[in-house]
């Protein structure tokens, strides 16, 4: 049975779909998802107005997600037994880059460096989204996506087995699109302090939900667990256990990404494995309605070299411990809400024992990590994809198991 995608309600977004662009790089594995109805470049309506594009029925209705993304739930695609909807990252920012205000034409007039464009803005206080030319975080146009980020994300997707890398689930990219020259010309005239001078791209990715772990969603699993349960139709112990098993299995995969993506780089006499660069599970991952954690911001996945056995083991450990708190937060939120919803009177001790029991069983079908009790502790035994006999690492996941 297919698991339907779910999105939490959020503000509506309107984009103008253009049938021109400078370039598209697609993911061959998801060629079918790049349909005629979807293909295009999507810009804020205000960008269209400033550029003089006729709308001609090309306004597309979506749902806001984070600051510069829009969900298009009308464009869905099934991978395996899970449904995904399309999300466009880099189709205009909602917020002023330097204050907490939402963008409006008044703000944009203030940062406009072109007289002709300035005159096309009426200065109204109606909330808008816009692609600007502010150079953001060193290399990105504020509101769109930088070429290297878009293409790195696409590369990570192309190297995956459609939506997963050895059990680590991702929100795969369908394509990366470079916006038309005219859009770049307009955007580059709007900046606060530093002008961006590269290409303006956007990513088309597939997401099973917009429920993130803790940050940057209208509903997050950690902060609005009641609502997440309602959205995911978790209303029985069996449903909660299935969800927990999937969340646990996929989270352990995320914690051991380096190990499960490890391979030998014979040319340089070293190992390579995937590492998270400036990305975090609590804001850059979403949870599917069946509990499977999907990593969304793929530009943050990069190969990291390790030259020795010792270094490989150290990387496995540091990745695991750097992110395990975020995972535990989600698991605890799930367990607490299960008790609330089912009116269970379990103590913290009993709840934890339940968590560990389900997690231990769920880990049995993972080829790279298994959980085992050692005395009163729960250990994670990680066996990398290559040279497992020399590179296996044991780490303490929980200090006390109890019965």
Partner 1 sequence: MQASKAIEILQSVEEKGTPQMSSDEQGELVQEGLIRLIPQEEYDSMQRNVQGLDSTAAKVKDMARSSDSSRKAISIRSSGNAAPSEEEYCRTLQQLESMLLNKAMLDSSAFSPSTGSYFLLTADGKRTLEDMRVWKRRFGQLELNDFLIKLHDIRYELATTVNKALNITRDFQGFGYGYSIPDARAPSLMLAERGSTAARTVNLLNAKGDQIAPRGEKLMIASLLGEKEGVGTELVTRYRQLTAKANEMGMTATDDDFRSAALVGLPDEQVDQVLERVKQLKLTLNLNENDLTWLALSDHTVEQSETRYSSLLSGAQAMGMQEDAPLLTAMAIMAGSDLPENVVLERFDFLQGALQRNYRSPRVAAAMLAIGPLEPEEALFVLRESVGIISRASYFDDAEEVDNLALLLATTNSIMIPAAGNASVDQSRGSAITPGRAMLFLTPLMTGAFLYYWMNQNYHLPTIQRIATHPMHMHTVPYFG
The contact set with partner 1 (CB under 8 A) reads: 9-11, 64, 66-69, 95, 100, 136, 156, 158-161, 164-167, 215-218, 223-227, 229-230, 235, 237, 260-261, 263, 274, 278, 280, 282-284, 297, 337, 340-345, 357, 361, 364-368, 370, 383, 385
Closest CA to 317 of 273, 264, 375: 273
Q: Which is nearer to partner 1, 20 or 278 (CB)?
A: 278
CA distance 209 to 71: 10
Q: Which is nearer to partner 1, 40 or 87 (CB)?
A: 87
Task: Return the HEC string of 220-255.
Answer: ECCCCHHHHHHHCCCCCHHHHHHHHHHHHHHHHHHH
Closest CA to 281 of 325, 242, 312, 315: 325
- Concatenated DSSP letters of 299-319: GGEEEEEE-SHHHHHHHHHHH
With tokens 């190969």, the residue in question is: 303
Q: Which is nearer to partner 1, 78 or 158 (CB)?
A: 158
CB of 236 to partner 1, least distance (A): 9
CB of 269 to partner 1, least distance (A): 19
CB of 360 to partner 1, least distance (A): 9
Q: Which is nearer to partner 1, 267 or 345 (CB)?
A: 345
In this structure, are residues 297 and 375 in contact, taking their beta carbons and an 8 Å threshold? no
CB of 27 to partner 1, least distance (A): 13
CB of 107 to partner 1, least distance (A): 15
Element (H, E) at 120: helix 115-120
Q: Which is nearer to partner 1, 209 or 337 (CB)?
A: 337
CB of 243 to partner 1, least distance (A): 15
CA distance 166 to 223: 30
Q: Which is nearer to partner 1, 50 or 382 (CB)?
A: 382
CA distance 158 to 184: 27
């Amino acid at each position: 049975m297919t698991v339907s995608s779910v999105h939490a309600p959020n503000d509506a977004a309107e984009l103008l779909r253009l049938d021109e662009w400078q370039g598209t790089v697609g993911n061959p594995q998801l060629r079918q998802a790049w349909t005629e109805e979807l293909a295009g470049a999507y810009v804020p309506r205000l960008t269209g107005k400033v550029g003089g594009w006729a709308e001609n029925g090309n306004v597309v209705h979506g749902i806001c997600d984070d600051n510069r993304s829009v969900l298009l739930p009308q464009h869905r695609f099934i991978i395996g037994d899970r449904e995904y909807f399309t999300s466009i990252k880099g189709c205009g920012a909602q917020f002023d880059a330097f204050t907490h205000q939402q963008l409006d034409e008044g703000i944009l007039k203030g940062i406009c460096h072109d007289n002709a464009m300035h005159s096309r803005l009426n200065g109204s206080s109606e909330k808008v989204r816009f692609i600007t030319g502010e150079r953001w975080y060193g290399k990105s146009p504020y509101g769109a996506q930088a070429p290297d980020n878009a293409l790195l994300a696409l590369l990570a997707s192309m190297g995956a087995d459609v939506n997963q890398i050895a059990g680590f689930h991702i929100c795969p990219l369908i394509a990366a699109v470079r916006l038309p020259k005219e859009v770049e010309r307009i955007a580059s005239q709007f900046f606060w302090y530093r002008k961006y001078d590269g290409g303006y791209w956007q990513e088309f990715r597939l997401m099973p939900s917009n429920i993130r772990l803790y940050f940057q969603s209208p509903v997050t699993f950690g902060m609005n667990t009641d609502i997440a349960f309602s959205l995911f139709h978790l209303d029985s112990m069996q449903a909660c256990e299935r969800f927990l098993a999937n969340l646990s299995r996929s989270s352990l995969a995320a914690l051991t990404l380096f190990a499960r993506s490890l391979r030998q780089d014979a040319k340089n006499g070293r190992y390579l494995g995937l590492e998270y660069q400036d990305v975090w599970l609590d804001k850059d991952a979403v949870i599917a309605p069946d509990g499977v954690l999907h990593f969304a911001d793929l530009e943050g996945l990069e190969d990291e070299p390790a030259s020795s056995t010792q270094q490989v083991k150290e990387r496995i450990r540091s990745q695991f411990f750097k992110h395990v708190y975020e995972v535990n937060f989600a698991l605890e939120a799930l367990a607490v809400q299960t008790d609330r919803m089912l009116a269970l009177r379990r103590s913290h001790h009993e709840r934890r024992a339940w968590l560990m029991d389900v997690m231990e069983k769920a880990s049995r079908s993972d080829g790279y990590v298994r959980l085992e009790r050692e005395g009163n502790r729960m250990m994670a035994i990680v066996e990398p994809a290559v040279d497992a006999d020399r590179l296996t690492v044991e780490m303490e996941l929980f200090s006390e198991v109890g019965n």
